């Protein structure tokens, strides 16, 4: 079964139990992280459940959200956190696909 690792406690986190959160304030997007709800950074004031963004439609919806934010003039601060989240989402989706392809072997 596929899972993420909580960035705060280091434990497994399944999409139904986790959140992608970030800070959206004063025209800036920052501090993207994957964590259990109880460990989300208190400065982060925006979030979606991981379950909402791990499938194709949800992932594309999140990318559209980011593009809309940038089109509205918001800027990205500390791009490393968004890159880390995208990398984790890619790894999750890739593992999920492998699990489906090789389930009967």
Phi, psi of 87, rounded to the nearest 5 degrees: -65, -45
Give residue 47's pLDDT band: very low, low, confident or very high (50, 70, 90). Answer: very high
Say whether 36 sits in a helix, a strand or coil: strand
Give residue 1's pLDDT band: very low, low, confident or very high (50, 70, 90). Answer: low
Q: What is the reported pLDDT for 75? A: 97
Query: Whole-structure pTM over 0.85, yes or no?
Result: yes
- In the chain, % of residues over pLDDT 90: 77
Neighbours of 92 (CB within 10 A): 17
Domain residue ranges in the chain: 4-101
């Amino acid at each position: 079964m596929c899972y993420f690792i909580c960035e705060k406690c280091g434990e497994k986190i399944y999409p139904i139990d986790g959140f992608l959160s970030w800070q959206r304030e004063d025209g800036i997007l920052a501090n993207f992280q994957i964590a259990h709800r109880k460990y989300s950074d208190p400065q982060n004031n925006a979030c979606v459940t991981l379950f909402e963004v791990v499938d194709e439609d949800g992932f594309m919806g999140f990318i559209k959200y980011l593009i809309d934010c940038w089109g509205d003039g918001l800027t990205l601060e500390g791009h490393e956190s968004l890159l880390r989240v995208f990398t984790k989402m890619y790894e999750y989706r890739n593992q999920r696909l492998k699990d489906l392809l090789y389930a009967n072997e």
